[in-house]
Structure 1
Amino acid sequence: MPPPIKPLPLHLTHRQRRAFMLGVGALPLAMAPSVRAAIGGLPSNTGPADLSPEWELLRGRIFGTRPITTGAASRVQLIAPLRAAYGAAVPVKIVSQLPQTPELYVKRMHLLVDKNPSPLAATLELTPEVGQADFETRLRVDEYSHVRVVSELSNGELHMDSRYVKTSGGCSAPPNRDTPELIGRTIFKLPGPPTMDAPTTADVTVIHPNDTGFELNNVTVMFIPSYFVRTIAVSYAGRKIFDADLDFSISENPTWRFNFVPHGPGELRAEVSDSKEQHFTGSLKVG
Structure 2
Amino acid sequence: MRLTLPFLNKDAKKKTAKKGATKKSRIAAEGRRAARRRARARWMKPALKIGAPVAIAGALSAAGFVLWSNGTIQRTYDNAVAATMKTSAEMGLAVYQVSVSGRRETNKDRLLKAVGVRVGDPILAVDIQDILDRVNSIGWVESAVVERRLPDHLHIQIEERKAAAIWQKDHEFVLVDIDGNVIGTDGLERYRHLKVVVGDGAPDRTAELVSLLEREPMLNSRIVAAVWVAGRRWNLRLDNGIDIRLPEENPGDALQRLAQLERDHRLLARDIAAIDLRQSDRLIVRMTEEAAERKRAHKDET
TM band (smaller chain) = under 0.3
Pair member with larger Rg: 2
The structure where helix makes up a greater share of residues is: 2
Give TM-score, length-normalised by structure 2: 0.18
The structure where strand makes up a greater share of residues is: 1
Kindly indicate whether structure 1 or structure 2 has the higher relative contact order, using CA contacts under 8 Å at least 6 residues apart: 1
